[in-house]
Structure 1
Amino acid sequence: MTETYKVQRWTSRSIVSTALIAALQFALLAAPFVFSANVVDHLTTLFVYVVLAITWNALAGYGGLVSVGQQLFFGFGAYGAIRLSQAGVPVYAALALGGVGSAVLALIVSSFMLKLRAGEFAIGMWVLAALVQLLVSLDPIIQGATGTSLLALNSFAPAARRADTYWFGLVAMAGVALLLFLLLRSRLGAAMQAIRDNEEAARSVGVRVQLAKRIMFVLAALGAGMAGAVWLATSISFQPNTYFGVQWTAYMIFMTLVGGIGTFEGPILGAVLFFAVEAAFGAEGVWYLIGIGAAAVGFALLLPQGIWGWMERRYALRLLPVGYVLKLQGVDAGRQHGFARRSVPPPPAAMRISEQS
C-alpha cells in the first residue's frame, strides 16, 4: 500500500484542549467571588510558579540557555516595584513596570552575558545575580538585609488587595504564556531550537543567533520579573536575601525537569506538582528541600524527558502544539499509532519543525 505523509500542527484534540484552557483562564477571573481567601492566595502562588517554570523552560528547553541566575530578574522585578511605588507611581502600575524593568535589565546585560556559553553562562548568571543583590542591599530605601515593605498596598482593604493581586497574577501568567506560545510557534521559535541543537550550524544557514538569543533572554527575564512583582504583592515585604536567593532558580529547574523540559505543557504540569508537594510537605523544613533535590536528580537520571515528555512520546499527546508532527497516511492503524509516538527528525536547515529533539 502506498504511504503518504501529512505535516500537521493542530488536531481535533489540541483544538479542544486549547479552547478549554482558554475558557478555564476566563473562568478563573471569578475565583475571588467564589472561593475563600485561602484558596485565592494559593492560586496566586500557583500563578507565580507557572510563570517561573514556563519562562525557564523557554530559555533552557527551547533556547539552550541554561541559567542558574534567574533569581536576578525575580528579585529585580520586586525591587523595581518598590522603587517606583516610593516615587509616586500607583502601586499596581509600579508592580507591572517592575516586571518590565527586569526585561530592560536583561536587555542591557545581554550585551555581554550572551557572549558566554554553556557552563560559563550558567555560572556567570549566578555571579551577576549575587552582584545585583549586593548593590540593591546598599540602597538606603532597602535598609540592607532588613529590607522594606510595599507600603502603598496597606491603603487597600485586605479583601480588595487580595482580589486585585490575584487578578494581576492571573493576567501576568496568561499574558506571558500567550506571548511564549506565539513566539515558539513563529520562525523565531524554530530558530531558537536550531541554535540550541547546533549554534554554528544555525548561523551558517542565516539564523541571526545573537538577536534570537537576546529576544528569548529578555522574554524570560520579563516573566521572572513579573513573577517577582506578583510575589511582592502577596507578601508585601521585601528582603534582598529572599528575593535574590538561588532557591528560586532551583524551583524553576525542578518544575521543568519533573514536568518535561522542551515541551510547552510539561513545565505547567511541573508547577502544579511542585505546588501540591509544597502545600503538603513545605512545613517539613530542610527535609522538604532535600526531598525536592533528590526528586530532581531522580527525574534527571531515570526519566530525563519528564512526566509530560514521557506521555507525549508514549501516547502522542499534544494539547498545546508549538511544533509539527509528521503522520503517515495509507497504513494500518497499528503502524500509524506507533509512528505518531516518535518525534519528527529535524531537517538540515535551521528552521526545525519538530517540537523537541
Structure 2
Amino acid sequence: MSDHLSPSWTISTRTGRSSASMLVILILVVLAIAAPLFVSRSVVQDLFFIMTMLVLTQCWNLLAGYAGLVSVGQQAFVGFGAYAMFAGVSLLGMDPMAAIMLGGLAALALSVPTAFFVFRLQGAYFAIGTWVIAEIVRLSLAQWKALGGGTGTSLPSGATRDMLGVRFVADLLGVRGPQATDIICYWLALLLAVVTIGSIYKLLRSKQGLGLAAVRDNREAARSVGVDPLLTKSFVYLVAALATGLTGALIYVQKARISPDAAFSVPDWTAYVIFIVVIGGIGTIEGPIIGVIVFYILRSLLADYGSWYLLILGLIGILIMLFAPRGLWGLFTDHTGFQLFPVRRILAGQPKTKDIRGSD
C-alpha cells in the first residue's frame, strides 16, 4: 500500500465579500419595497424611472456586453410593447396589468422575425439593421388610426384608476388613486428589475453563460467545442426583447399617453441606455447599476441647461471611454478587486490523501 497526494479541485464564483454583500442587497430590496410608505410621490416617480432604466440597461448590456450584439434599435421593443399594451386596454378592454404582459409577449413575437433578418448581419451592419427595423415599426404604427396615428393617444379615462390593486393600495396607504397607481407601477418596476438582474446573474453563472462568453469572444472556437452560436445569441436576443417590451408597456401605463415619436425615441430608449452602460461598465452586472445612479444625478443637476445637458453628457462619456475604458465599476474593481455579482470562475485545489492498494 502506498500513499499519494491527489488534488481535489473545486470551482466557485463566490467570494467571502460577495456573499456578505448579498445580505446588503436583500436589505436594500426590502427598503425599496417599503419606500412608498415614507417618501413622497415625486420620489416614487423618480425611483420608477431608475428601475425601468435599470431593466433597459441590463438588457442592452446582456446583448452588447455578453453576447457581442451591439443593437441601436431596442426602442423597437419598447415602443411595440407599449403600443400592444395600449391596444389591449383601449381596443380590447383589458386591465392594464394584463395588458403589460401582452406588451411583453408582443415584443417577444416581434423579435422572432427581427432576429431572422438582423442575425444575417455582422458588426456595424447589425447595429444599423436593428435601427432600420425600429424605424419601420415606428412608421407602421404611426399609421394605426385607432391608436391616434402620428399624434398618439391617451389611455381611456379611469383605466389606470381602476387597474387591479389600485383601490386596495389606496385604502391601505391612505392615498389618492393616481398616487396608488404610481406606487403599483413602481413596485412592478422593482420586481422586474430584481427578476432581470437575478436571471442574468444565474444565466452568466451557468454553462449557457460560459457558452455565451465563448460566442462573444470567438464564434468559430465556440462552435468547435459544441456551442451553437446562432441558438445562443437567439435565446439572449429573445429574452432581452421580452424584458424590454414589458418595461416599455409598464412605462406607458404610468405615462398614460403615447405617440410614435415618444415610444420609439432613439435618445430616450437607446442613446441614454448606451451612455449608462458605457459610463458604468459594459460587460458587468454592476456597471449599469452604477451608471443609472450617475445618470439620474446628472439628469437632475443638468436638465435645466437645455442643449448643454446633452453636450455635457457626451463629454463625460468621452472622458470615461478615454481614461476608464471599463467604466466606473471597472475602475473601482481594478483598485479593490471587489465584485458584487462575481461570475468569473475560480479554480481552487485542496490536496487530499488517497490510498491506492495493489499487490505484488
> What is the TM-score with the length of structure 2 in the denominator?
0.86
Alignment gaps of 5+ in structure 1: 330-357
2:60 maps to which residue? 56
What CA distance in whole angstroms lies between the structure 1 residues aligned with 2:304 and 2:109? 36
Residue number in structure 2 paired with 1:284: 305
Aligned length, in residue pairs: 327
Q: Deviations over 1:23-43 (max 9, x none)?
A: 321332222222111111110
- Separation of aligned partners in 2, 1:128 and 1:252: 18
Alignment-mate amino acid for residue 153 of structure 1: T
Aligned residue number for residue 229 of structure 1: 249
| Aligned mates of 2:283, 2:181 — CA distance in 1 | 36
Instruction: Give the secondary structure class of the aligned counterpart of 2:145.
Output: coil
CA contact (8 A) 1:49 1:275 kept: no
> 2:120 corresponds to which letter in structure 1?
K
Give the corresponding residue for 1:355. Answer: none
1:157-176 aligned at under 5 Å gives the runs 157-176=177-196
Residue in structure 2 matched with residue 15 of structure 1 by the alignment: 19
* 1:277-299 deviation digits (Å, cap 9, x = unpaired): 11111222211112112222222
2:147 aligns to what? 142
Unaligned stretches of 5+ in structure 2? 1-6, 167-176, 351-360
Greater relative contact order (CA < 8 Å, ≥ 6 in sequence): 2
Residue type of the alignment partner of 2:344: G
Q: TM-score, normalised by structure 1?
A: 0.87
1:100 aligns with 105
**Which letter maps to 2:317?**
A
Q: CA deviation at 1:6?
A: 7.0
- Pick aligned residue for 1:250 from 262, 265, 271: 271
Q: In 1, distance between residues paired with 2:208 and 2:11?
A: 20
Summarize the Cα distance change of 1:327–1:297 in structure 2 as closer, same or farther, 3 Å threshold. Answer: farther
Identity across matched positions, percent: 38
Determine the structure 2 residue equivalent to 1:342: none
Give the superposition deviation at 1:116: 1.2
Distance 1:124 1:11, change over 3 A: same
Is 1:217 aligned to residue 222 of structure 2?
no
**CA distance in structure 2 between the partners assigned to 1:27 and 1:21 by the alignment:** 10
Establish whether residue 298 from structure 1 lines up as the match of residue 319 from structure 2: yes
Assess if the C-alpha contact under 8 Å between 1:76 and 1:225 holds in 2. Answer: yes
Distance 1:81 1:323 in 2: 39
**Paired residue type of 1:149:** S
Q: Find the residue that maps to 1:53 and give its secondary structure.
A: helix
State the distance in 2 between where 1:48 and 1:31 align: 16
Query: 2:128 maps to what in 1?
Result: 123
Q: Deviations over 1:222-271 (max 9, x none)?
A: 22212212221221110110110111211111111101011111111101
Distance across 1 between alignment mates of 2:306 and 2:32: 31
Deviates more, 1:125-134 or 1:83-92: 83-92
Contact 1:264 1:322 in 2 (8 A): no
Structure 1 runs of 4+ aligned residues shifted over 3 Å read 4-8, 325-329
**Rg (Cα) greater in structure:** 2
Deviations along 1:196-238, one digit per CA (max 9) or x if unpaired, are 1111111122101111001111111122212212221221110
**Contact 2:58–2:285 (8 Å) recurs in 1:** yes
What letter matches 1:50 in structure 2? L
Shift of 1:142: 2.5
Partner residue in 2 for 1:337: none
The 2-side partners of 1:170 and 1:96 are apart by 16
Q: Distance in 1 between matches of 2:10 and 2:331?
A: 24
Match of 1:196 among 216, 219, 222: 216
Give the AA of the match of 1:271.
Answer: V
